[in-house]
Amino acid sequence: MTANEAELVETPADAITGHSSGADWLARYNSSLMGVFGTPQRVLVRGAGCLVWDADGKEYLDLLGGIAVNALGHAHPFVTSVISSQLATLGHVSNFFTSPTQIALAEKLLAITNAPAGSKVFFANSGTEANEAAFKLARRNSDAKRTKIIALEGAFHGRTMGALALTAKEAYRAPFEPLPGGVVHIPFGDIEALRSAVDESTAAVFLEPIQGEAGVRPLSAEYLQAAREATTAAGALLILDEVQTGIGRTGKWLASEDAGIVPDAITLAKGLGGGFPIGALLTFGSTTSALLTAGQHGTTFGGNPVATAAALATLHAIESQGVLQNVQSVGEYLRAGISAVEAVAEVRGEGLLIGIDLTADIAPAMVTAALDAGFIINSPGPRTIRLAPPLILTTEQADRFLAALPSLIATATATTAKDAQ
């Protein structure tokens, strides 16, 4: 076998793309890809477990997991083999037809979320699409007068127009107004503000049990319970966006589990397909499930055999490999280790969704320092770091990051000070 053939075996698309250095790829990226993401940090070519490699051969410990998506890390053997064999058998059928994996996944999701009788599932391809479906569900909870939809300050629900209307950040919203109307944003975590906002004109309340993009900010169980009470009393829907927090991210199937409430709907995406694109809206109980009727919503790709097989394989591996317990123990270990580091002001989150507040605005510089040192992390704010690693992260891998953390902070502090001069 020649060297070229060996590379073909590793990454089949090499035959089409050819090889370049990271710098060359990024120059080509900038002249051919739309600028909405800025220049990417690296060009990644390969992954295995919690590790990825860039086009120049450098290795990274992936502590972001494709933003809480790669639940089982990269190239998980079981998920990979199920996806490959499903694709080699039946890849797409449209929603004029169904397939065993679609039905089995819907049943499985209703089982792991303890959904009451009459609950149903709609499959989409992403988080924002799951929330679009939920937005339409909310609109259907209308006897004409129910026009108000409540979301929280700091909320992130996606980038398409309906989900964007629910998203709070002004910079994301302003360029695209007018957005679908009726959405109001109320202060985060303020039970009194919630109680006075929810009234007979309210169609739905959208909540993330832990706000991810806002820097990992958890709502208390009391808040979720108060939201359930207020919405039930007013006839409004309680819709939980567990796109980031669901599917084991917090060491439970759902982050909202411990609050002991039954919402009217939840949305899922990110970790659900183990890296393969899929989203879902779950409606709880037959009344809510009947709000969207035949012809009122749809998607061409949603719920296709490959995506639903990927999700089934992911859920099966999480269950059979003790992954939820791993999330709990490694998450606790990592958070305790981070808390002990000087210059860390606060550590938030649950399981392997971790927010770290630093004592100065050095988070963007820390992302750069971490990349140079071989770690992928994320800064959702100027002094906040987010970690959302694969749920299979080991204690040894957590230790590697903990050992490096003080020097990453020191480097980031130095470069930030230098840049300010």
Q: Which residues are annotated as a binding site for N(2)-acetyl-L-ornithine?
A: 159, 299
Residue 379 interacts with ligand PLP (CB under 6 A)?
Answer: no
Window of 175-183, 240-248, 310-318, 339-347 that interacts with ligand PLP by CB under 6 A = 240-248
- Give dist(CA 55, CA 32) in Å, integer: 18
Residue 289 interacts with ligand PLP (CB under 6 A)?
Answer: no
Instruction: List the one residue from 86, 102, 231, 244 that touches ligand PLP (CB under 6 A).
Output: 244
Residue among 239 and 409 whose Cβ is closer to ligand PLP: 239
Q: Rg of the Cα trace of the chain? A: 22
DSSP classification of residue 74: B
List, in order, residues 6 or more apart from 122 with CB less than 8 Å away.
130, 133, 280, 281, 283, 292, 297, 302, 303
Window of 6-14, 151-159, 179-187, 335-343 that interacts with ligand PLP by CB under 6 A = 151-159
Residue 128 interacts with ligand PLP (CB under 6 A)?
Answer: yes
* 354: its two tokens: 């971790």
Residue among 156 and 375 whose Cβ is closer to ligand PLP: 156
Residue 384 interacts with ligand PLP (CB under 6 A)?
Answer: no
User: What end-to-end distance do the CA atoms of the chain give, in Å?
Assistant: 55
- Give dist(CA 334, CA 330) in Å, integer: 6
Number of Cβ within 10 Å of residue 212's Cβ equals 24
- Give dist(CA 45, CA 47) in Å, integer: 7
Instruction: List the one residue from 47, 49, 65, 127 that touches ligand PLP (CB under 6 A).
Output: 127
Give the residue carrying structure tokens 């899929």: 278
* 343: its two tokens: 């210059």
- Give dist(CA 150, CA 369) in Å, integer: 39
Beta strands in 43-163 (DSSP E): 44-48, 51-54, 59-62, 120-124, 148-152
Residue 276 interacts with ligand PLP (CB under 6 A)?
Answer: no
Tell me the binding residues for pyridoxal 5'-phosphate: 127-128, 156, 241-244, 300
Name which of residues 158 to 197 contact ligand PLP (CB under 6 A).
158
Cβ(354)–Cβ(331) under 8 Å? yes
Longest Cα pair distance anywhere in the chain, in angstroms? 72
Name which of residues 9 to 38 contact ligand PLP (CB under 6 A).
none
Residue among 128 and 411 whose Cβ is closer to ligand PLP: 128
Window of 87-95, 153-161, 228-236, 398-406 that interacts with ligand PLP by CB under 6 A = 153-161
At residue 50's C-alpha, the angle toward residues 271 and 207, to 5°, is 25
| Least CB distance to ligand PLP at residue 242 (A) | 7
Tell me the binding residues: 127-128, 156, 159, 241-244, 299-300
Name which of residues 46 to 105 contact ligand PLP (CB under 6 A).
none
In sequence order, the β-bridge partners of residue 206 are: 239
Residue among 256 and 411 whose Cβ is closer to ligand PLP: 256
Residue 249 interacts with ligand PLP (CB under 6 A)?
Answer: no
- Give the binding site for ligand PLP (CB under 6 A): 126-128, 131, 156-158, 208, 212-213, 241, 243-244, 269-270
